Amino acid sequence: MTQPEIDEKTLPDPFDFEHLCGPKVDGPGWSHTVVLLNGLKGGTRKVWTPRTGDPWWNRFSADLGNATIISYNISQKPIRLSRSKETPLERNSHGILTNLRDRGILNKRTVFIGYSFGGILLKRMLADMVSNSYFEPRYANVTALAFLGVPHQGSRWAMWALFFFRPFGTVHLKDLKPKSRTLESVGNDFKRAFAEKFVGTSLVSLLEGRRITIGSLLASNLPAISERLAGASGWITSAVLNRPIYKKVVEDVSAELGLPNETVLRADGCHLSLPWFAYDGAESVMSDLISALKSGLTPRGESAYSFDMITRRIEPKE
Domain positions in the chain are 8-210+251-314, 212-245
What is the pLDDT at residue 123?
96
> Which of the residues in the chain have pLDDT under 50?
1-14, 78-84, 162-169, 222, 225-226, 235-236, 300-315, 317-318
Give per-residue pLDDT as tens, 154-164.
787 665 554 44
Phi-psi region for residue 179, left (φ > 0), alpha (ψ -120 to 50) or beta? left
According to CATH, the topology of domain 8-210+251-314 is Rossmann fold (3.40.50)
What is the pLDDT at residue 267?
94
**Residue whose C-alpha is closest to residue 241's, from 226, 221, 261, 260:** 226
What is the pLDDT at residue 300?
45
What is the pLDDT at residue 237?
53
Global pTM? 0.80
